[in-house]
Structure 1
Amino acid sequence: MTLTVPVILGSVRSDRIGIRAARFLTSKLEARGHAAPLVDPAELKLPLLDRMYKEYPAGTAPEPLERLAALYRGSDAFLIVSAEYNHGVPPALSNTLDHFLEEYYWRPSAICCYSAGQFGGVRAAMPLRAMLAEMGMPSIPSLLPIPRLQKAIGDDGTPAESWLERSANRFLDELEWYAEALRTRRAQGTPY
């Protein structure tokens, strides 16, 4: 079953390393036959949240928001790639996510977290789980933490460490299971 799984990157830093994880996971999803468009806040250049997409009169939202709304409505799941800033969620990720709400409903999410150090960004993943559930896209039980990302994945998204392929495959197997199950249920209707 072909799925559409946007890969939402959470960093806009000029020397960010998270793009490596996003490239790796996009490639893995595409190799499984899925559509995995990259949602990059550095390219979107969204303003700080002043008005959510749903608060614009129909047809008047800025073009990047219209494009994302269409993508999200047609998505089956979301894969979040998050750094850890001060033990929390990066502001660029929060801002990118906060522009939408109903577009996420009844779809699972998965969290890949990373850091340049040994903890792999897991301290950001915990508050991110609560945030994603509140937005209507609860995260799958597994995480894909990547410590020392600068050594684990090359600039082009090629993994340099063998454990990463095995872990990513299990992680994506789980995401596919949840995405397919919820897609089937959405087709039968949702509670509201």
Structure 2
Amino acid sequence: MSNRILVFYGSYRSDRMGIRLAEFIVDRLRRRGDDVELIDAKAINLPMLDRMFKEYPKGEAPAVLEELAKKIRAADGFVFVTGEYNWGVQPGLKNLTDHFLEEWFWRPAAIASYSAGRFAGARAGLLWHGTLSEMGMIVISSIISVGQISQALDEFGKPTGDGGALLERSFPRFADDLAWWADAAKEQRARQNPPF
């Protein structure tokens, strides 16, 4: 069964390596038959959070927020692709995420982290787990962590070397886990309205 999946990426740097991982995930999910869209925080370019989408009077939110809210509400699941900045999360991705709340509810989220070093963004992934859970998402247990990203994925998002081979081996379980929860949540939402 095909799922509507949004892949969120948050780096604003000029030499972005994580976009390779985001493109790899989009490509592999599409190969599985999912309807996938990459949401690039830099391309959307939301202002620093001043007012959440829900805090605008109905019909008065900026068009970019209205459009993104519709996409989030229509999605069956999410993938958050995150680098690690000083043991923390990327500010661009966090800013985009914080503009919304109820729109995220009752859907699964998956975390894919990366870094230039050997820790593969794992500390940022850990922080995102708590954040996404607090925002009403079910965070799946399977994760992807890519260290030395410039050596694991080429400029087109194609796996290379040992890191790329490891990514190829770990992706199916990651995608299966996300699909299982997306299907389960979709079925439950069709059967019963969420409690809030």
Contact 1:78–1:108 under 8 Å retained in 2: yes
Aligned counterparts, 1:91-170, within 5 A: 91-160=91-160, 161-170=164-173
Question: What is the alpha-carbon distance in structure 2 between the residues aligned to residue 156 and residue 58 of structure 1?
Answer: 41
Deviation at 1:109, TM superposition (A): 0.2
TM-score, L = length of structure 2? 0.96
Deviation at 1:168, TM superposition (A): 0.9
Q: Read off the aligned partner of 1:57 and give its amino acid letter.
A: P
Q: Read off the aligned partner of 1:124 and give its amino acid letter.
A: A
Question: What is the alpha-carbon distance in structure 2 between the residues aligned to residue 170 and residue 153 of structure 1?
Answer: 19
Q: Read off the aligned partner of 2:166 and give its amino acid letter.
A: W
Structure 2: runs of 5+ lacking an equivalent = none
Matched residue pairs, number?
192
Deviation at 1:36, TM superposition (A): 1.2
Q: Read off the aligned partner of 1:98 and give its amino acid letter.
A: D
Could you say what secondary structure the match of 1:5 adopts?
strand
1:191 match = 195
Structure 1: runs of 5+ lacking an equivalent = none
Q: State the Cα deviation string for residues 11-32 of structure 1 (Å, max 9, x = none).
A: 1111110100000000011111
Q: Higher strand fraction: Structure 1 or Structure 2?
A: 2
Q: Read off the aligned partner of 2:157 and give its amino acid letter.
A: G
Deviation at 1:88, TM superposition (A): 0.8
2:43 match = 43
Could you say what secondary structure the match of 2:118 adopts?
coil
Could you say what secondary structure the match of 1:64 adopts?
helix
Question: What is the alpha-carbon distance in structure 1 between the residues aligned to residue 173 and residue 34 of structure 2?
Answer: 16
Runs of 4+ in structure 1 off by over 4 angstroms are: none
Q: Read off the aligned partner of 1:149 and give its amino acid letter.
A: I
Q: State the Cα deviation string for residues 45-90 of structure 1 (Å, max 9, x = none).
A: 1000000001111111111111111101100010000000010111
Aligned counterparts, 1:27-38, within 5 A: 27-38=27-38
Aligned counterparts, 1:39-78, within 5 A: 39-78=39-78
Contact 1:129–1:138 under 8 Å retained in 2: no
Question: What is the alpha-carbon distance in structure 1 between the residues aligned to residue 96 and residue 184 of structure 2?
Answer: 26
Q: Read off the aligned partner of 2:4 and give its amino acid letter.
A: T
Q: Read off the aligned partner of 1:175 and give its amino acid letter.
A: L
2:20 match = 20
